[in-house]
């Protein structure tokens, strides 16, 4: 396993990390598989484990804390997030100082830890001044409850610029990391956000790198949905909306490239993300040990320029450029 710094900070994380967004804890068997996956991750050199207070209403944090308790805290990088509702109260949501302070304590209790390495704002909160949110996060760093902070989805390039203006004006500790969605079929962060991250020395730890499983190659044109896949049971049907003829055709061609390289479509997709130096770690959601063992192969895999050009031809991505006049 290879490691990268999170932005310009001194914190090092494994190129492949484990997220618990979709960790299935619905049965004893599923819990056992999830535990084996976390254990294998640590054994293979993965040190970064991502979670959130909203995942299973705290169940994912409690599970992760129980499994990670077997390992030295100094060898782990653990993150969580705040924003989504954690109760019925009007203040039990958002990015107010009150909710942030209460929820970091809730996450630490769930994880049975004294501090979080990374703490993300899960979404942007239009009802709370950015100044209030940033000051609260800075205060948590001062208290030692979190070491670094960042943001996830909903923070546009303009909002990130605004945040950094406030940080500079108030002399706050810098924002270190962002966690947006990013994969071969969703590249919006390349238009502006990556430039802002490079400008301010922020690392990027993208989630959903395999497009909800689409980029694994298991969904095929004209064939039934694989039994047990997300497309057969996911409530919000996110992956189903991606299963277009155009996308399936692209994945088919990408799978051919992976085959030529003697690897899998999943490894190809993860290595493609890691081609960008601004990427600190790719958050994967393996549900079985064998999936994780495969994903790890992407660490250190360098794709040649001809391969990258062939991928670009398949994806047909055109960056957004605003032209005046």
Q: What gap in Å lies between CA 325 and CA 274, rounded to an integer?
A: 37
**Token pair of 29, please?**
């068997």
With H, G, I as helix, E, B as strand and everything else as coil, classify residue 208: coil
Are residues 82 and 47 in contact, defined by beta-carbon separation less than 8 angstroms? no
Nearest CA to 150 out of 123, 113, 177 is that of 177
Q: What gap in Å lies between CA 97 and CA 117, rounded to an integer?
A: 19
Q: What gap in Å lies between CA 287 and CA 307, rounded to an integer?
A: 29
Are residues 113 and 74 in contact, defined by beta-carbon separation less than 8 angstroms? no
The active-site residue out of 3, 55, 149, 219 is 55
Are residues 122 and 153 in contact, defined by beta-carbon separation less than 8 angstroms? yes
Helix %, strand %, coil % for the chain, to 5? 45, 15, 40
Is-catalytic flag, 149?
no
Nearest CA to 205 out of 58, 81, 34, 74 is that of 81
Residues annotated as part of the active site: 55
């Amino acid at each position: 396993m290879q490691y990268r710094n999170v932005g310009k900070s001194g914190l090092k994380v494994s190129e492949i990390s484990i997220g618990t967004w979709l960790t299935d804890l619905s049965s004893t068997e599923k819990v056992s598989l999830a535990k084996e996956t976390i254990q294998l991750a640590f054994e293979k050199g993965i040190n970064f484990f991502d979670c959130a207070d909203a995942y299973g209403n705290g169940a994912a944090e409690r599970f992760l804390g129980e499994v990670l308790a077997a390992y030295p805290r100094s060898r782990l990088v653990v993150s969580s997030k705040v924003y989504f509702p954690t109760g019925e109260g009007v203040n039990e949501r958002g990015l107010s100082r009150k909710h942030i302070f209460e929820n970091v304590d809730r996450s630490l209790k769930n994880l049975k830890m004294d501090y979080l390495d990374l703490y993300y704002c899960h979404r942007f909160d239009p009802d709370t001044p950015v100044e209030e949110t940033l000051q609260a996060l800075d205060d948590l760093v001062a208290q030692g409850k979190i070491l670094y902070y960042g943001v996830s989805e909903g923070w546009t390039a303009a909002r990130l610029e605004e945040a950094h203006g406030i940080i500079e004006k108030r002399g706050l500790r810098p924002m270190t990391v962002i966690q947006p969605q990013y994969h071969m079929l969703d590249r919006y962060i390349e238009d502006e956000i990556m430039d802002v991250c490079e400008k301010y020395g922020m690392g990027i730890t993208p989630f959903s790198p395999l497009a909800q499983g689409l980029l694994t190659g298991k969904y095929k044109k004209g064939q039934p949905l694989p039994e047990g896949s997300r497309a057969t049971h996911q409530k919000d049907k996110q992956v189903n909306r991606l299963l277009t003829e155009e996308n399936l055709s692209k994945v088919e061609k990408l799978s051919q490239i992976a085959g030529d390289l003697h690897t899998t479509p999943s490894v190809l997709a993860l290595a493609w993300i890691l081609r960008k130096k601004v990427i600190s770690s790719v958050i994967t959601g393996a549900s079985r040990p064998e999936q994780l063992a495969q994903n790890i192969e992407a660490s250190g895999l360098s794709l040649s320029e001809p391969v990258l050009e062939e991928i670009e031809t398949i994806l047909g991505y055109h960056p957004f450029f605003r032209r005046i006049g």
